[in-house]
Amino acid sequence: MKIPSCLIICCIFFGLIFPAYALEPTKPGIDLRAWAPGSSSTTIAEGQPILFENSVQSWWNQPWGKRDTRVLQNSNLINLGFRQRLLSTPGNTIVDASVGIKTVGFGHHESRDSLRLSLGGQMGFGELLTLYGESAWMPGLIESNGFNELSGLEFETGVLFYPLPNLSIHAAYRRLNLDYTLSNGSGEHSFTEGIVFGTGIHW
């Protein structure tokens, strides 16, 4: 997909959801997480039994926010997204959408950049427990080295536990699917899936 088409998709994506104002701000925070892909994974987990990542999120001006995630073993693998809350309630229930850029590790020491569109949310159950989920579409991974028509889908769902007001512990399941066409015209599919676990500080 060419860049102009991606920009059109981006404009339509936010045009459908704007304006939408949340009822209250949410807490910014820093997370440190580890992703342990299963043995059947075939993309970025290749040669990496555990991937460590840190994530910084913040909200400003009521509905707008930003999230920046980096893989610690390779600072070039990033996920930067600007988010808009479609819904936020005092009970810690949030629905948000985001647009950004994601760098995906692909094969042996290779990576691709892509526009990333996502829709996610969380539902709070009292002060101690929150369920969350997010799905993302990467429609136009930059192509090179014989890989063509690259696209990706990412999904994560999990639970957040708050033993202290400003401390979270979480566990989740994440899957990243990549579809592409080789230079000989054959279609291929790769994926990475596994358990995510970590902790975060919020203020």
Predicted confidence pLDDT, tens digits, the chain (203 residues):
444 555 555 554 445 444 444 444 566 789 999 988 765 555 554 455 677 889 998 877 667 888 889 887 776 678 889 988 888 777 678 888 999 988 876 655 567 778 899 999 999 888 889 999 999 988 766 555 556 667 788 999 999 999 988 899 989 999 988 777 766 666 667 778 889 999 999 87
- Under DSSP, is residue 94 helix (H, G, I), strand (E, B) or coil? strand
> For position 51, what pLDDT does the model report?
79
pTM of the shown model: 0.77
User: By CB neighbour count within 10 A (0-12 exposed, 13-18 middle, 19+ buried), where does 158 fall?
Assistant: buried
> For position 88, what pLDDT does the model report?
77
> For position 120, what pLDDT does the model report?
93
The pair of structure tokens assigned to 130 is 């929150």
Residue with tokens 């704007």: 18
Please give the domain boundaries of the chain with CATH numbers for all domains.
Answer: 3-202 (2.40.128)
Show Cβ contacts of residue 30 under 8 Å, excluding neighbours closer than 6 positions: 54, 55, 56, 57, 200, 201
